[in-house]
Amino acid sequence: MDEKKSVVLPVERDGRFCYSIILEEDFGQLAGEMEKLEIAERKICIVTDSQVGPLYSEQVRQELSGVCKKVTVYTIEAGEEYKTLDTVRGLYEHLTLEHFDRKDMLAALGGGVVGDLTGFTAATYLRGIRFVQIPTTLLSQVDSSIGGKTGVDFDSYKNMVGAFHMPSLVYMNLSVLKTLSERQFASGMAEILKHGLIRNEVYYKWLLKNQARIRNREYEALLYMIGESCKIKRAVVEADPTEQGERALLNFGHTVGHAVEKLKDFRLLHGECVAVGIVAAGWISWQRGLLELEDLEEITKGLRTFSLPVSTEGLEAGKVVETTRSDKKMEAGSIKFVLLSRIGQAFVDRTVTEQELLDAVSWILEDR
């Protein structure tokens, strides 16, 4: 394992440099990285939420105030229920009153809700302005901050209104992960385990072998883990920036997961719902003879190792299946379902039947 204290990952689009993903120990290099974006005469609005703002917004504001013309801070209420067009409207109003123009910039300081909402605002304000991601949760560091997918929820359906809008920089301060609750940290691990399951069996095995170091949040282990997950997502995004094909692999576990998340009224964290969805997808893969029973058991064991659920309760299987039909991954009336041909290799399948889905959901609703 590489023992470097920082990682820099360039991201390309159509063979050209697009932005950098920076992994650091603190916010000390943020100003220097932002200077490269030529912002000396520009304004920056830090968008954060009521949980993250009190912890880090002043520190980030001070870092940025020396390299740009003006910094404002806009704080939204924390929680998925505030990831709406109404919240975006409030941010539009702030930017308008502060006279932000097309060359000014937004900075998303927070988890996935803040990042998605800020990115969508940046994509649509004045037909598009620049933004940077400063993700503060494990989930947002390895998932939503990378790749340019932005969006807000509509009528409780996740990310139904959105746009592809690439950030100008993704800056990760890994020390902020020390303030995450155990539950929030576990939520991020669902996406990390997903990366190994869909693209890299060796990495997946490393995660299970090093679970103690990871759960203790040892910096070197986190640096390697987050770096490897970012490399996997970067490779998929570079090959398919607007989700026309291969990028759909990143939705492994999300079809059922999003349905569970909605029907639970977002009382479960995103990663918890993805974990349940991973088990459902793994079950279908096993039923089709693609995985051995030992593989399915290894997947469920891996999720449990990081305190993630492998089943849920209080839902009707038919209702879950019905809700998947409203998922944005529908295409010509069929779901692009992601299955495993083996651990470390996934593929998109459009032939999963309603009965297969119903059986899989019934299985995850059992108390095991």
The residues carrying an active-site annotation are: 127, 149, 191, 233, 243, 247, 251, 254, 258, 270
Q: From 108, 116, 34, select the one nearest 73 (Cα to Cα).
A: 108
Query: What's the CA gap between 301 and 144, in Å, rounded?
Result: 25
Residue at 136: amino acid letter: T
320 three-class SS: helix
Do 315 and 365 form a contact (C-beta atoms < 8 A)?
yes
The arrangement of strands across the sheet holding 169-173 comes to 7-13, 16-24, 169-173, 130-135, 105-110, 43-49, 70-76
Q: From 230, 241, 228, select the one nearest 16 (Cα to Cα).
A: 241
Query: What's the CA gap between 144 and 133, in Å, rounded?
Result: 9
CA distances 339 to 170, 274, 298, 348, Å, are: 30, 14, 16, 6
Query: What's the CA gap between 81 and 116, in Å, rounded?
Result: 13
